[in-house]
Amino acid sequence: MQKTTKLYALVKGKCPQCRRGDIFTGSLYGLDIQHTNSVCSHCSMRFEIEPGYFYAAMYVSYAMNVSEMITVGIATYVFSGGNLEFESLWLYLTTIFTGCLLLAPFNYRYSRVILLHWLSPKIKYNAYYDKP
């Protein structure tokens, strides 16, 4: 069986311990609502390590949201020809808030995935699950 890379597990939202089970049910932008599984379907690891664990994902989501807002603001500035007059304030507000609204499901999912994969020192990859 081929070893699953950390990047693949991070992008696909797989379990940080076995890199096989899904962290979420439902698709990112589908009609079925995404929900965080309580345990991994492959290795039975609990995703919510302690009560309220995913409250810390709000800080990760906040950092993602701020960087997205700055990026959309700079892109609006570049594509609007550098217009910074008061009348263009509504253009900036509209594009930034629309970007935030469209990226909200992405931020919800990947703030939890980043929290589990990179910010949890207790969770270590176990190569045992790669063996056939």
Where residue 82 falls (left for φ over 0; alpha for ψ -120 to 50; beta otherwise) is left
Residue pLDDT, tens place only, 5-37? 888 888 898 988 888 889 998 877 877 778 888
pTM of the model: 0.80
Contacts of 86 (CB under 8 A, 6+ apart): none
| Start-to-end C-alpha separation, the chain | 6
- What are the sequence ranges of the domains in the chain? 6-127
Q: Strands, DSSP E only, in the chain?
A: 24-25, 35-36
